[in-house]
Amino acid sequence: MTWDVLIIVGGPAGAIAAADLARCGYRVGVLERKRFPRGKLCGEFLAPRGVARLQQHGLLTPLLRAGARRIRNAVFISLGGHSHCLPLSRFSESVEFGLGISRATLDHLLLDHARACGADVLERVCVTDAIASSGRIVGVRARLSPSGTRVTFFAAVVIDASGRARVLGSPTPRARSEGDARLFAFQAHVSGIAGVGEAVQLYFYPSGYGGLVRIEGDLVNLCGLTTWATLRRAGGDPKQLLALTMGQNPRAQEILRNARLETPLAGCGPLRFGLRALPREYLAVGDAAASLDPFLGHGITLALESGLLAAALTDAAFRAGDPTTLAPRYARAFRRCFARIWRAAGWLRPIASHHAVGDRVLALLPERALAHRLLRALLFGGRTG
Q: Note whether 285 and 14 are within 8 A (CB).
A: yes
Q: How far is the CB of 265 from ligand FAD (least distance, A)?
A: 13
Decide whether 165 or 365 has the Cβ nearer to ligand FAD: 165
Report the distance separating Cα 329 and Cα 153, nearest Å.
24
Number of amino acids touching ligand FAD (CB under 6 A) = 38
Which residues within the stretch 75-104 sit at the binding site for ligand FAD (CB under 6 A)?
A: none
For residues 53, 59, 63, 66, the Cα torsion angle rounded to the nearest 10 degrees is -160
Among 4, 7, 11, 215, which residue interacts with ligand FAD (rule: CB under 6 A)? Answer: 11
Which residues within the stretch 237-296 sit at the binding site for ligand FAD (CB under 6 A)?
A: 271, 286-288, 294
Q: How far is the CB of 141 from ligand FAD (least distance, A)?
A: 11
Q: Does 48 bind ligand FAD (CB under 6 A)?
A: no
Q: Does 380 bind ligand FAD (CB under 6 A)?
A: no
Pick the closest to residue 46 from 17, 67, 69 (CA basis).
Answer: 69
Q: Does 227 bind ligand FAD (CB under 6 A)?
A: no
Instruction: State the binding string over 22-41 for ligand FAD (x if CB under 6 A, else -).
Output: ---------xxxx-----xx
Q: Select the span of 44-52, 169-177, 323-331, 348-356 touching ligand FAD (CB under 6 A).
A: 44-52
Q: What residues have CB less than 8 Å from 252, skipping those under 6 apart?
A: 77, 203, 205, 210, 212, 246
Q: Does 139 bind ligand FAD (CB under 6 A)?
A: no
Please provide the distance, in angstroms rounded to a whole number, between the alpha carbons at the two ends of the chain: 37
SS3 state of residue 91: helix
Report the distance separating Cα 156 and Cα 315, nearest Å.
12
Q: Does 300 bind ligand FAD (CB under 6 A)?
A: yes
DSSP class of 3: E
* CA distances to 53, 106, 305, 374 from 50, in Å: 5, 12, 8, 20
Q: Does 131 bind ligand FAD (CB under 6 A)?
A: no
Q: Does 43 bind ligand FAD (CB under 6 A)?
A: yes
Instruction: State the binding string over 180-199 for ligand FAD (x if CB under 6 A, else -).
Output: -----x--------------
Q: Does 63 bind ligand FAD (CB under 6 A)?
A: no
Among 29, 48, 163, 279, which residue interacts with ligand FAD (rule: CB under 6 A)? Answer: 163
Decide whether 146 or 366 has the Cβ nearer to ligand FAD: 146
Q: Does 12 bind ligand FAD (CB under 6 A)?
A: yes
Q: Does 360 bind ligand FAD (CB under 6 A)?
A: no
Decide whether 41 or 80 has the Cβ nearer to ligand FAD: 41
- For residue 158, the cross-strand partners are 6
Among 29, 210, 279, 299, which residue interacts with ligand FAD (rule: CB under 6 A)? Answer: 299
Decide whether 79 or 110 has the Cβ nearer to ligand FAD: 110
Decide whether 38 or 251 has the Cβ nearer to ligand FAD: 38
Pick the closest to residue 208 from 236, 235, 187 (CA basis).
Answer: 187
For residues 376, 378, 383, 385, the Cα torsion angle rounded to the nearest 10 degrees is -50
Q: Please report the beta strands in 78-207, taking only residues with DSSP state E, as ranges in sequence order.
A: 83-87, 98-100, 120-123, 125-133, 136-144, 150-160, 183-191, 199-205
Residue number, nearest CB to ligand FAD: 286
Q: Does 342 bind ligand FAD (CB under 6 A)?
A: no
Q: Note whether 348 and 294 are within 8 A (CB).
A: no
Q: Please report the beta strands in the chain, taking only residues with DSSP state E, as ranges in sequence order.
A: 2-8, 28-32, 45-46, 69-71, 73-77, 83-87, 98-100, 120-123, 125-133, 136-144, 150-160, 183-191, 199-205, 208-214, 220-227, 260-261, 266-268, 274-275, 283-284, 290-291
Q: How far is the CB of 380 from ligand FAD (least distance, A)?
A: 14
Report the distance separating Cα 290 and Cα 285, nearest Å.
8
The residue ranges that bind ligand FAD (CB under 6 A) are: 8-14, 31-34, 40-46, 126-127, 161-163, 165, 167, 185, 223, 271, 286-288, 294, 297-301, 303
